[in-house]
Structure 1
Amino acid sequence: MAFALENDKHYTYKDYLTWPDDMRCEIIDGQVYMMTPAPILAHQNVAGEIFRQVANALVGKTCRALIAPLDVRLPRHNEADEDSDIVVQPDVMVVCDPSKLDRRGVRGAPDWVVEVLSPKSASRDQIEKRRIYERHGVLEYWLVHPTDRVLTIYRLENGEYGKPDIFVLQGSTPVSVLPDISIDWEALVPYLNDDENL
């Protein structure tokens, strides 16, 4: 049986839970954004290497590294999960508050989020997701541009991201909200060379 969304409906996590398991999407302010069936290998290699480095560095620590697909619900204040109209799946994230983790994924803002840009998701990651991560208190938001080999970093200060820092993907870059943790870009060079159609 075919599944169809209504164009003018405001969707919530309650709706999301009724959809087929193989339907990959995100909800941002009640609007559904369909995701590609699965990212291509180069995208997964970049996200996977970032996750590996951070997960290894966090062994034995309170903070936990997680990788997509994993639902992050961003309810407003004390809003019930089912009423939340924001459900996203960041490529890589770190959550330092264990109370935000449950069997469904993450409820509340991760401390650090990384999105690996691809042509089909770049505008959403740079505009809509940046706005909601800022609004919900993600402390540090990284946008990795594998094709251009550029990293854009937003840091939350006084409730706003402000002007981002922009770096070339070379050497290493420290994660400000995770002391003593840096991403080594040299380890990603083989994957960056395989960037066609990221």
Structure 2
Amino acid sequence: MAKPAERQATYADLQAVPSHLVAEIIDGTLVTHPRPTPRHAAAANLLSYEVTGPFQKGRGGPGGWIFLVEPELHLGRDVVVPDIAGWRRERLSVLPETAYLETAPDWVCEVISASTETYDRVSKRRIYAGAGVSHLWLLDPRSKVLEVFALAGDSWLLVGTFRDGDDVAAPPFDVMTFPLSALWPLDVEGEVSPNAQ
């Protein structure tokens, strides 16, 4: 007896997910996970800050990029939501009026969390490679590690691993340097929270 075909998730399924969850369609399956933790959100926000000034606004850097936080990307049949994505302006000169983009980014950063790690490291890496994303950063605020990958053919080449305390200069943004520790604002040794008594 033939096994019934599994139903592929649709965009309507994704739109029906409650707003307190992040929803994606990965390999035809609807995947949901909770909104990011404050540590995750802070790391994503601060990394976005580090690249936006020099690479989007041209402040102390070359400009020429556009960055979006948690954009909805339609890459073939997959719908993914990276933590941060960046496009060279010549590839994305106008933002669409839709709630999503179909132009694959040039750079993606996924901030690793317990609920997303398997998808980020396996399925989404494959999806990004298939879509031709040139650069992928995996940032883990739990272990304070940044892994930097470049697309080589159809697979990822690890070009650098940075640990807490390292200065990061990594493609495609290697004309600038920033301390990885800047991404954990409340973990800097000797820094006292303004709310501390």
Instruction: State the TM-score, normalizing by the size of structure 1.
Output: 0.77
Task: Give the drift of 1:187.
Answer: 1.5
Task: Give the drift of 1:136.
Answer: 1.0
Structure 1 residue ranges, 4+ long, deviating more than 4 angstroms after superposition: none
Cα RMSD for the two superposed structures: 2.4
Say which one has the larger Rg: 2
Unaligned runs of 5+ residues in structure 1 are: 1-6, 76-84, 194-198
Higher relative contact order (CA 8 A, sep 6+): 1
Task: Give the drift of 1:21.
Answer: 6.1
| Residue aligning to 2:52 | 55
* Contact 1:139/1:156, CA 8 A, preserved across alignment: yes
Offset from partner CA, 1:86-129 (integer Å, 9 cap, x none): 11110111111215741223213211111111111111111111
- Correspondences of 1:119-138 after superposition (within 5 Å): 119-138=114-133
Count of residue pairs the alignment pairs up: 175
Task: Give the drift of 1:165.
Answer: 3.3
2:66 maps to a residue whose letter is: R
Aligned CA distance change for structure 1 residues 105 and 151 (closer, same or farther; 3 Å): same
**Partner-residue secondary structure (3-state), 1:46:** helix
**Partner-residue secondary structure (3-state), 2:9:** coil
* Contact 2:39/2:184, CA 8 A, preserved across alignment: no
Unaligned runs of 5+ residues in structure 2 are: 189-197
| Residue aligning to 1:65 | 67
1:171 maps to a residue whose letter is: D
- Whole-Å separation in 2 of the counterparts to 1:27 and 1:47: 22
- Whole-Å separation in 1 of the counterparts to 2:27 and 2:94: 20
Aligned CA distance change for structure 1 residues 100 and 119 (closer, same or farther; 3 Å): farther
Identity of aligned pairs, percent?
Answer: 27
* Contact 1:54/1:183, CA 8 A, preserved across alignment: no
* Contact 2:14/2:30, CA 8 A, preserved across alignment: no
Q: 1:102 aligns with which of 75, 78, 96?
A: 96
- Whole-Å separation in 2 of the counterparts to 1:158 and 1:100: 28
| Residue aligning to 1:147 | 142
Higher strand share: 2
- Whole-Å separation in 2 of the counterparts to 1:187 and 1:162: 26
